């Protein structure tokens, strides 16, 4: 990571939450599934790592977003989109993952056996969406959920990569 821009304290994480609420939440809803060249975050919160390491709690992000709606600072589609991502997806999957361990970690439903392509480490590809998604991870240790799900995971499925290989890469490459 060339430019270290991550919070390491709760106070810093709360400041990033405030910045997201004030500067990007209003546009999150219309653009939550968007990708643009050399724009790795767009209007995303980039708060997932602080949920993962305990510096922020899911309910406090949701409460701040709901309050922004009540204060007229964010439209309902942006707040609903964020709350749905956190409570309806992230927390549901986290609980599912914990309840189904270790089976879900080792699952390989399609029986794919190929190794993770080298381009995941180098970012060297002519496929623009894939290159942009990998560039974000290589340079920042981050990519938003559309890049993770629709580009990186989909590419792995199309190339019949063993999902455990991809999972190890996600654990290694992301902050």
| 53-58 own/partner pairs: CB under 8 Å, 24+ apart | 55/7, 55/9, 55/10, 55/12, 55/13, 56/10, 56/13, 56/14, 56/17, 58/86, 58/87, 58/90, 58/91
Question: Which pLDDT tens digit goes with each residue over 46-93?
Answer: 999 999 999 999 999 999 999 999 999 999 999 999 999 999 889 999
Residues 125/119, Cβ–Cβ less than 8 Å: yes
Closest CA to 37 of 153, 164, 129, 165: 129
Is pLDDT above 90 for 13?
yes
Question: Which pLDDT tens digit goes with each residue over 85-130?
Answer: 999 889 999 899 999 988 988 999 999 999 999 999 999 999 999 9
Which pLDDT belongs to residue 17?
A: 98
Cα gap 72→64, rounded to integer Å: 12
Is pLDDT above 80 for 3?
no
Which pLDDT belongs to residue 40?
A: 85
Determine the 3-state secondary structure of 162 from DSSP. Answer: coil
Cα gap 71→63, rounded to integer Å: 12
Token digits for 28?
């999150």
Domains delineated in the chain: 10-99 (1.25.40.80), 112-173 (1.10.579.10)
Which pLDDT belongs to residue 4?
A: 79
Q: What is the mean pLDDT of residues 28-42?
A: 88
Cα gap 114→159, rounded to integer Å: 8
Which pLDDT belongs to residue 1?
A: 55
Residue with tokens 């990708």: 35
Which pLDDT belongs to residue 34?
A: 86
Q: What is the mean pLDDT of residues 27-37?
A: 90
Segments of the chain assigned E as strands:
none
């Amino acid at each position: 990571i060339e430019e270290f821009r991550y919070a390491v304290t709760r106070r810093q994480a709360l400041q990033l939450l405030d910045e997201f609420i004030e500067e990007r939440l209003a546009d999150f809803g219309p653009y939550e599934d968007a990708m643009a060249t050399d724009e790795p975050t767009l209007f995303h919160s980039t708060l997932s790592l602080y949920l993962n390491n305990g510096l922020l709690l899911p309910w406090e992000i949701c409460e701040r977003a709901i309050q922004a709606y009540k204060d007229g600072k964010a439209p309902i589609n942006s707040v609903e989109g964020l709350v749905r991502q956190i409570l309806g997806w992230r927390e549901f999957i986290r609980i599912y993952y914990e309840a189904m361990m270790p089976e879900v970690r080792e699952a390989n439903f399609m029986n794919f056996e190929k190794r993770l392509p080298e381009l995941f480490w180098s970012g060297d590809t002519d496929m623009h969406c894939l290159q942009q998604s990998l560039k974000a991870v290589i340079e920042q240790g981050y990519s938003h959920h559309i890049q993770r799900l629709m580009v990186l995971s989909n590419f792995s499925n199309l190339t019949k990569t063993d999902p455990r290989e991809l999972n190890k890469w996600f654990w290694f490459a992301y902050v």
